[in-house]
Structure 1
Amino acid sequence: MEKIFAGIVLYNPDIERLKENVDNIINQVSRVILVNNGSENTEEIEQYLDGLEKQKIIYKNLNKNKGIAAALNVIVNKCIDYNVNWVMTLDQDTVCNKDIVQKYRKYLKMDNVGQLTCEYIDRNFKNEDEKNKYGIRKISWCITSAALLNINAWKKVGGFDERLFIDEVDYDICLSMREKGYYIYQIDFIGFVHEIGEGKSKKIGNKIIKTWNHSAFRRYYSTRNAMIVARKHSEINTIRAFLGVLKHIGIILLFENDKWNKFKAGIKGLCVGIGEKI
């Protein structure tokens, strides 16, 4: 049977949620790799890991926050050390169903798999999103959380782009894989629970507007990286991406708190992203 590892990037995780995450995945995979991105609660993390079965856990402390992309690359390179071809990437607050890997296994032999993903429930929005009603389908991109990554495809695209640090990292690698002839497949089952930021929805007339309430720090990277990724990939219309960023900044000004700091961070990120060398 094909060996599958799981990898979790840690940054100041809630330990109880992390326990739930690990408990649900550890018996589905050969090993769980945890990469600590300079968490402030490292001692608490390591105390928890000391109580787990040593043969199932691989732990690496980077001692500082090198960004999500760098930590994901550490995970994949560790898989390569063990001659593993597939890894499920998980956010620290994701909780998978206990049969998600079993369900993914059925699709490993599909044509040119870059990543496999499935439906999920966002804790912030419950069942507001329309679910996949089309069975197995090819999609343009997926979030990294609970995605099953083909390591050979990762090699072909040169790994995760570490200059992105955080935000758009998942979108970028999916685009890169598709440019190399790989596909992102979404399987029609709900496989995990997850949350993005502190998401909220507001109904304005017949429209539902979603806000993510990310920090100003995150807003800088999300706007910067949106422009870098748009300029990097010909599939994306750069003008449309620019207008999309302005729309999100407008939503922040209307509906989120800490508006001024987020606005400044967003505009700075926009300018840096436009000027960044590709």
Structure 2
Amino acid sequence: MSPATPPHPAPDVCAVVITYRPQVDLLQQVIEGVQSQVGRLLVFDNGTQDEKLDAYFVQLQRTSEVVIERSPGNIGLAAAMNRAAEHARIHGFNHLLLLDQDSLPDPDMVATLKAALEQLQRSGPVAAVGPQFRDRRTGYIAPFIRVAFPSSQKLNGGPGQQVRCDFLISSGSLIPLESFDRVGPMDEGLFIDNVDLEWCFRARHRGFSLFGICDAQMRHSIGDALRPSRIVAGGIKIHSPVRLYYITRNRVLLYGRKETPAVWIAQDIPRLILKFFGTLLFLKPRAAYFRSMARGLRDALRGTTGPMGPS
């Protein structure tokens, strides 16, 4: 499709952009990039207190048909996704598109995902399809993943390819609401990290397929920061101590769930151990990282879920 040719919108798709302390200029680009591609755009803000964002939302409501929902506090990513699915269902939409506040879709991303989804559904139940994304900071094209041991298969695919995979990141995922209802809602106990991983494992366990659509493109970034690396493709993703609490806790929680593939657990335990010691060796403040990760491990072993409480 030529960049000058506007794509046909998908009127039965409701998109949600979930925000938490967003960069307003970038959020505006995301909204402008997706609004014309879908039947409705919902912005769900997770308790951000920011005057610049307040002013932008006021202006947005005056000048567009974007629907804005603002939670008084941070209810977590999973809960926000579930509220968005409920909103889409109530208003008669058949599909939900999930987007992060920094995910920039190509002009034809939604139409490309929708066409691929309809084709794939003729061969069996599909939980979701997702785009191939390029890191906004480095240009690195993230592969789709099939879980294997001792390491997973990383599949880049190519033009026209639809890659069967074991999980998709939530941002950019197009989910039929019928599949969402059959797989079940996002696990709100996980709060923010690994929510997409758990849902995808549950979907695969229940007989659904997941596909990466190479012709659907999106720019996105993972991690709070990125450190260049000659060893790790795409660089090393740097997370805050709070995020590492959730990453540690939630991955260990997944080890005990029947839907989680045993082969993923076998390869992830060594990875988590390396991440623990690598973080302590190379990132500062070491004490803050150690406390967060140790607390995440302790809470996982206790079965603690939900938002991180006071220490």
Shared fold, TM over 0.5: yes
Give the superposed CA RMSD.
Answer: 2.1
The match for 1:156 is 182
Post-superposition offset of 1:129 = 4.7
Question: Paired residue for 1:37?
Answer: 46
2:75 pairs with 1:66: yes
Q: CA deviation at 1:270?
A: 1.5
Letter in 1 for 2:60: L
**Cα distance in 1 for residues equivalent to 2:194 and 2:111:** 28
Q: Which residue pairs with 1:272 in the alignment?
A: 299
Give the one of 85, 90, 93 matched to 1:81.
90
Deviation at 1:272, TM superposition (A): 1.4
Q: For the residues of structure 2 that align with 1:104 and 1:120, how far apart are their CA atoms? A: 13
Deviation per CA, 1:120-165: give whole Å up to 9, x if none. Answer: 1112332365532481121000101111012111112220000000
Q: What amino acid sits opposite 1:39 in the alignment?
A: T
Superposition deviation, residue 259 in structure 1: 2.3
Unaligned segments of structure 1, at least 5 residues: none
Hey, what's the Cα distance between the residues in 2 that align with 1:128 and 1:62?
Answer: 34
Contact 1:227 1:241 in 2 (8 A): no
1:169–1:129 Cα change, 3 Å: closer
* Residues 202 and 210 in structure 1, CA contact (< 8 A), matched pair in contact too: yes
Deviation at 1:29, TM superposition (A): 0.3
Q: 1:239 to 1:192 in 2, by over 3 A?
A: closer
TM-aligned CA distance change 1:71 to 1:221, over 3 Å = same
Indicate conservation of the 8 Å contact 1:177/1:183, yes or no: yes
Q: Percent same amino acid among aligned pairs? A: 23
- Greater displacement, 115-124 / 74-83: 115-124
CA contact (8 A) 1:211 1:255 kept: no
**Counterparts of 2:19 and 2:109, CA distance in 1:** 21
Aligned equivalent of 1:180, options 206, 213, 216 = 206
One-letter code of the match for 1:171? Answer: L
Secondary structure of residue in 2 paired with 1:35: strand
Counterpart pick for 2:30 among 18, 21, 31: 21
Using structure 1 for the length normalisation, give the TM-score: 0.91
Give the drift of 1:108. Answer: 2.6
The alignment status of 1:194 with 2:203, answered yes or no, reads no
Please name the residue that 1:257 is paired with. Answer: 284
Tell me the distance in 1 between the aligned counterparts of 2:290 and 2:44: 32
Aligned residues of 1:116 and 1:147 also touching (Cα < 8 A): yes
What is the count of residue pairs matched by the alignment?
274
Which residue in the other structure is 1:216 paired with?
A: 241
Residues 1:52 and 2:79 are matched in the alignment: no
Say if 1:128 and 1:201 are closer, same or farther in 2 by CA, change over 3 A: farther
Inter-CA distance 224–45: structure 2 relative to 1 (3 Å threshold): farther
